[in-house]
Amino acid sequence: MLLVERGVDPYRGARALPGGFLNHAGEDILDAAHRELREEADLDVARLHLEQLGTYGAPGRDPRGRVISVAYLAIAPELPDPVAGTDAADAGWESAADVLSGRTKLAFDHLRIVTDGIDRARGKLEHSALATAFCRETFTIADLQQVYEAVWGVQLDPRNFYRKVQKVPGFIEPTGQERRATKGRPARLFQAGPTTVLHPPLVRPESTDSEGAR
Amino acid sequence: MLLVERGVDPYRGARALPGGFLNHAGEDILDAAHRELREEADLDVARLHLEQLGTYGAPGRDPRGRVISVAYLAIAPELPDPVAGTDAADAGWESAADVLSGRTKLAFDHLRIVTDGIDRARGKLEHSALATAFCRETFTIADLQQVYEAVWGVQLDPRNFYRKVQKVPGFIEPTGQERRATKGRPARLFQAGPTTVLHPPLVRPESTDSEGAR
DNA sequence: GTATCTTAATGTCAAACAGACAGAAAGGGG
DNA sequence: CCCCTTTCTGTCTGTTTGACATTAAGATAC
């Protein structure tokens, strides 16, 4: 995930989600999310999936006073490795595992927001074609499987995955081309199809730890 | 759904979702949702399900100026038939079909909010125990089926529904009591179980109309 | 050029599941 | 006591799932 290092108090030096305030009264909040992503992280990629995650407005979440944050979940493939040195103070990539485990400390209630975002992504992978937003324009089925395995944190059977993914109508479409790696049989390349809602869904294996309350 | 009639411009006389502004800088937005529900609609029921739906902040959505609304989805059973005459101007129940079809005109972008809310409810019925929030403390399986049929707008087979609902562990628990109607065999009464996430989910029958893009 | 290694693609099979529907159980009313 | 209604319990068939075997198509080593 993309985090910036705070240069001012409060939480100076801690990592935080990129964000900021609305510019003027006429700015749409989605536009503002795009702008902040560009300004704070120099990120202006194509194929950017951006969806509203939720709004966080607990009274004490910002010591400076009342701040209500509308969080957006952004997903994009082929991200520039170290975010290019710009005025964007210190933006950089952090492993989600490091953040979730608490090894990387986040400012404000941003850990909560991050947790919600990951939950959202995990769930949406089942019922929507969101996984293709993690991939490039064309991809192999093994690529897609890696997305599911990484986000869900599980291992999947390649043969069954292959079968199920292709059964969902309109999810992925073959391009007719192939990609050959250094080893092994060349893999057929696919691209995202028109479907956004998966029928049937790709259900993730039931984790043994009981999910309990929400 | 619960709507109030606007007494002031803009949209005077049109129906709108109950809502209002934050009281003071220390008020939590969820608390504000509860308060507005109580103030505008005299609604203060037990067993009230309230979850954040989304935030709407398009520049022109309120002609008076920039207003950002955080929408909450509320669901509760046993609602008072005509909302008792209080200072709550003209609050009343409207059929969702009337609103969705456009027969009942809504102020601002509230039709969009309502549509999103119904979509959310329909989806959550599949994967969460939300349906029990529509029911009383104890209910029969037929009651629960009526919730699913009403919200999804489909007909379900009582025998298959009976089987599937009882297979989900922790969804509903038998109370040991029965309810006898005027006709027919007495039905066993159930109550909501501890589970909030349904495993396996209750998938709704695939509607014939293609869902297309989102 | 052939063996071998690696990954992709296809196939097989038993168990579980889904939808459609039959029938039995348990009440009330003529 | 028969009929009607609603609830509950089965049955049956086709589909899907998860586990695993097998074949296909390249690259590389020898």
* A43-82: pLDDT as tens digits: 778 889 999 999 999 999 999 999 999 999 999 998 876 6
Say which CATH class B128-192 falls into.
mainly alpha
- Mean pLDDT, chain B, rounded, equals 90
CA of A187 to C1' of C5 (A): 17
Q: What are phi and psi of A71, to 5 degrees?
A: -90, 140
Q: Tally the residues of chain B.
A: 214
pLDDT value at position B81? 64
Q: Please tell me the distance in Å from B151's CA to the nearest CA on chain A.
A: 19
Which residue's entry shows tokens 């937005």?
Answer: B29
Interface of A with B (CB under 8 A): 25-29, 52, 54-55, 57-59, 65-66, 68, 70, 128, 194, 196-197, 199-201, 203, 206, 211-214
Cβ-Cβ contacts under 8 Å, A51 against chain B: none
Q: Give me the CATH code for the B2-124 domain, please.
A: 3.90.79.10
Check if the beta carbon of residue B15 is closer than 8 Å to that of residue B3: yes
What nucleotide is nearest B156 when CA is compared to C1'? C19
Query: Is pLDDT of B209 > 60?
Result: no
Check if the beta carbon of residue A17 is closer than 8 Å to that of residue A96: no
CB contact under 8 A, B70 and A52: no
Neighbours of B143 (CB within 10 A): 19
Cβ-Cβ contacts under 8 Å, B59 against chain A: 25-28
What is the pTM (predicted TM-score) of this model?
A: 0.91
Residues in B 131-170 whose C-beta is less than 7 A from nucleic strand C are 157, 159-160, 164, 167
Cβ-Cβ contacts under 8 Å, A200 against chain B: 203
**Confidence class for position A91, pLDDT limits 50, 70, 90:** confident
Check if the beta carbon of residue B128 is closer than 8 Å to that of residue A211: no
Q: Say if strands A172-179 and A187-192 run parallel, antiparallel, or are unpaired.
A: antiparallel
Q: Please tell me the distance in Å from B183's CA to the nearest CA on chain A.
A: 38
Give the residue range(s) of CATH 3.90.79.10 domains in chain A. Answer: 2-124
CA of A200 to C1' of D15 (A): 13
For the stretch A141-181, pLDDT in tens is 999 999 999 999 999 999 999 999 999 999 999 999 999 98
Which residue's entry shows tokens 């952004």?
Answer: A74
- Which of B129, B150, B112 shows the shortest CA–CA distance to B49? B129
Secondary structure letter of residue A106 according to DSSP: B
Q: Please tell me the distance in Å from B90's CA to the nearest CA on chain A.
A: 29
Q: Which amino acid is at A60?
A: G
CB contact under 8 A, A66 and B26: yes
- Crossing angle for the helix pair B141-152 and B110-127, nearest 10 degrees? 140
Least confident of A31-40, A177-186, B202-211: B202-211
Give the residue range(s) of CATH 1.10.10.10 domains in chain B. Answer: 128-192
| H or E, element range at B2 | strand B2-5
CB contact under 8 A, B27 and A59: yes
**Confidence class for position B132, pLDDT limits 50, 70, 90:** very high
